[in-house]
C-alpha cells in the first residue's frame, strides 16, 4: 500500500520547523514531498510557495508551508487557482478551515508558533475532513473566475 503524500515547503525562516514537521509526517506514515528550501540560507518565499502549489495541484495532495509568520506564504499560495491556503496558529482555526473552507494548504509561522502547537495543528489538518454541503457552495464562490 502506498503512503499518502503531503507536500512541504519553507523559506529560511521556517526551515527548522519544516524539518520537524517532515519527521512527524514520516512517523505518522505519510510520505513528505519536500519542495525546499533545503537550508537556512536566505531565499524568496514566493518561489517556494509556487513550487508547493504546483505540486499540490498536480498530485492532488495537501501541502504545508512554513515561514516566519505564515502570512507571506499564505498570500503567495492564495494567488494560485485551486489553492485554499490558511494561516493557522491554533487547533480551532485549523479544524474550522478544514471543515468549512476545504483548506488544502496549511501555513504556519515558525516565529509565532511553538513546536508542540505546530505538531498538533498539523495532525488536525491531516485528520479533519471537509464537511461539504452548504460549505461547498461557499467554497465554490471564492474560486477565481
Residue 24 annotated in active site: no
Task: Find out whether 28 is annotated in a ligand binding site.
Answer: no
61 CB-contact burial (10 Å; exposed 0-12 / middle 13-18 / buried 19+)? middle
Q: Which of 69, 70, 52 is nearest to 61 (CA)?
A: 52
107: annotated active-site residue: no
Catalytic residue (one of 24, 43, 100, 135): 100
Element at 31 (helix H, strand E)? strand 31-34
Q: Is 69 part of any known ligand binding site?
A: yes
User: Is position 123 annotated in a ligand binding site?
Assistant: no
Active site amino acids: 67, 100
Which residues carry a binding-site annotation for D-ribulose 5-phosphate? Answer: 11-12, 68-72, 101, 111, 134, 138
Point out the annotated binding site: 11-12, 68-72, 101, 111, 134, 138
Amino acid at each position: 500500500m502506498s503512503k499518502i503524500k503531503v507536500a512541504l515547503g519553507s523559506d529560511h525562516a521556517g526551515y527548522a520547523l519544516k524539518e520537524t514537521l517532515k519527521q512527524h509526517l514520516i512517523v505518522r506514515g505519510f510520505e513528505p514531498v519536500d519542495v525546499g528550501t533545503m537550508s537556512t540560507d536566505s531565499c524568496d518565499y514566493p518561489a517556494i510557495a509556487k513550487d508547493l502549489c504546483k505540486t499540490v495541484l498536480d498530485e492532488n495532495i495537501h501541502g504545508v508551508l512554513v515561514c516566519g509568520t505564515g502570512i507571506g506564504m499564505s498570500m503567495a499560495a492564495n494567488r494560485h487557482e485551486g489553492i485554499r491556503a490558511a494561516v493557522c496558529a491554533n487547533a480551532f482555526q485549523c479544524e474550522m478551515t478544514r471543515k468549512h473552507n476545504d483548506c488544502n494548504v496549511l501555513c504556519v509561522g515558525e516565529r509565532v508558533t511553538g513546536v508542540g502547537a505546530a505538531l498538533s495543528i498539523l495532525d488536525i489538518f491531516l485528520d479533519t475532513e471537509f464537511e461539504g454541503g452548504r460549505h461547498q457552495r461557499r467554497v465554490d464562490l471564492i474560486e477565481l473566475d
